[in-house]
Amino acid sequence: MSRRGSWHALLAVLVGLPLWVACGQDPAGSSASSPGKAGSGWDVYFSPKGGCTEAVVAALDKARTRVLVQAYSFTSAPIAKALVDAARRGVKVEVLLDKSQRTEKYSSADFIIHEGIPTKIDAAHAIAHNKVMVIDGATVLTGSFNFTKAAEEHNAENLLVIQDPALAEKYAANWNVHAGHSEAYTGK
């Protein structure tokens, strides 16, 4: 085993991770999961074509009370549809987007705003680069994965789906800070 491999093996033992996670490898190729401690756990997905969009849609399909979204780029039709479907089931859905979504040739922002989902633009920063969803105060979706078709099909991206109410609370608090300085998006 190489020196690097030995270090990763030691790390795996110390923190209780499977060796392949500590080494940054996935024997299945696209996703991995861990049950974590009671009430928490995680799944990880990689693109291209690693199931990130499907994981987002599946998480949204399980939403029952509230979904908070922060997105830099948002052009995925399946994700936009899942948000609208959640809202139609009575889930409170709220979205914050980067100011670039005002001028994008195609943005799902227009679709969701016309479906009655409150959407705001966070223009207080050079780039509002978050890619986060908080679902039912217990699940956090985050990573480099933009909510776009290109991120699923062409880019090297990652998505973490984390079941952890304490972490979700922190992300929701951050979402509220950004919502406080964002302005309503009225669509094109």
- Identify the active-site residue in 43, 120, 122, 131: 131
Told to judge if 129 belongs to the known catalytic residues of this protein, a careful annotator would answer: yes
- Identify the active-site residue in 26, 85, 110, 136: 136
Told to judge if 181 belongs to the known catalytic residues of this protein, a careful annotator would answer: no
- Identify the active-site residue in 81, 85, 110, 129: 129
Q: Which token pair is 86?
A: 């959640």
DSSP 125: S
Burial class from Cβ neighbours inside 10 Å (0-12, 13-18, 19+) for residue 63 reads: buried
How many alpha carbons lie under 13 Å from residue 120 in its C-beta half-sphere?
20
Radius of gyration of the chain from its Cα atoms, rounded to whole angstroms: 17
Task: Answer for the pair 162, 57: CB distance below 8 angstroms, yes or no.
Answer: no
Burial class from Cβ neighbours inside 10 Å (0-12, 13-18, 19+) for residue 52 reads: buried
Told to judge if 26 belongs to the known catalytic residues of this protein, a careful annotator would answer: no
Which is nearest to 133 in space by CA: 145, 123, 122?
145
Beta strands in 15-137 (DSSP E): 31-34, 41-47, 66-71, 92-98, 119-122, 131-135
Which residues form the catalytic set?
129, 131, 136
